[in-house]
Copies of this chain bind each other. A is one copy, B any other.
Amino acid sequence: MRDITTKILLGDSKEVLKTLDDNSIDLIVTSPPYADRRKNTYGGIAPEKYVEWFLPISEQLFRVLKLTGTFILNIKEKADNGERNTYVLELILALKKQGWLWTEEFIWHKRNCYPGKWPNRFRDAWERMLQFNKTRDFNMYQETVMVPIGDWANGRLKNLSETDKIRDNSKSGSGFGKNISNWLRRSMVYPTNVLQFATVCNNKNHSAAFPEELPEWFIKLFTQANDWVLDPFLGSGTTSEVAQRMGRNSIGIEIMPEYVEMAKAKIVQKEPSLFTHNKIAV
């Protein structure tokens, strides 16, 4: 097995990205700073300037992504003056104009969302996970994210094994050659485009809470071992940490020095296991 490289780079993504090679990244997964009217929060970009701020960055992302690669953008517009702001919608349209295909919109359903009560709205329990691609022929490893079949099966499919085995064999024509995947399919099904992960607030310092399951799910789905993962807004380093643990090379970019330190601390050389050896370049 080859070494895994985990790079953590300090600087402005717009500039640092220019140092990366063309068509070198398999998956970009990131949660950029959301637009915010309050200027003094981390990365506070005004909503009306968000698209113009993002486009030069996404232009570089387009350049460094492989043709078979995928770009996952986690974003959600806040309520602003009683309304949802439309800058995310405008960003999607602008990215399409830039050449991206808007392949899918996953929903991240946050089981335990932020508490609160307002007279005119309920708690916001979901965020957009927008999928963009350069071509229609991107890599997708669907079997890696299969989930147990729903509860209805417990009550209804207790004795399904014999009849279903027979039916499946006869359908395929040849009576032999049933493989593991056929057996697996009895208990596992493909997921949908609604993901349910709990938010994890293990890190109060960082403004964007990214539960590990989220990048992990997309890394499983869109990359294989030794592929390259990029997070241009690394924050406290969740994406890098997960990528390293999963045996993917990764590059994380972060503009705030204190976050870079935090991320590096997570990526310290782990005890080499029997089959992997982690190399760290920071």
Contacts and interface: CB of A to CB of B under 8 A. Distances in A.
Contacts of A102: 83-84, 86
Contact of A121 (B79, B103, B109, B121): B103
A125 to B, nearest CB: 3
Interface string A70-99: 000000000101111010011011001000
A96 to B, nearest CB: 7
Given A120-B140, A125-B194, A107 B107 contact: yes
Interface of A: 79, 81-84, 86, 89-90, 92-93, 96, 101-105, 107, 109, 111-113, 117, 119-126, 136, 138, 140, 142, 150-153, 161-162, 190-194
Contacts of A101: 82-83
25 contacts: A83-B102, A84-B102, A84-B104, A86-B92, A86-B93, A86-B102, A89-B93, A90-B93, A104-B121, A109-B109, A109-B194, A111-B152, A112-B152, A117-B142, A117-B190, A122-B191, A122-B193, A124-B192, A125-B192, A125-B193, A126-B193, A126-B194, A150-B161, A151-B161, A151-B162
A111 B194 CA distance: 10
Given A83-B103, A107-B109, 20 more contacts: A82-B136, A83-B101, A83-B102, A86-B96, A89-B89, A103-B121, A109-B109, A109-B194, A111-B152, A112-B152, A117-B190, A120-B138, A122-B142, A122-B192, A123-B190, A123-B192, A124-B192, A125-B192, A126-B193, A150-B161
Contacts of A93: 86, 89-90
A122 B126 CA distance: 18
A267 to B, nearest CB: 29
A105 B191 CA distance: 23
Nearest to A148: B163
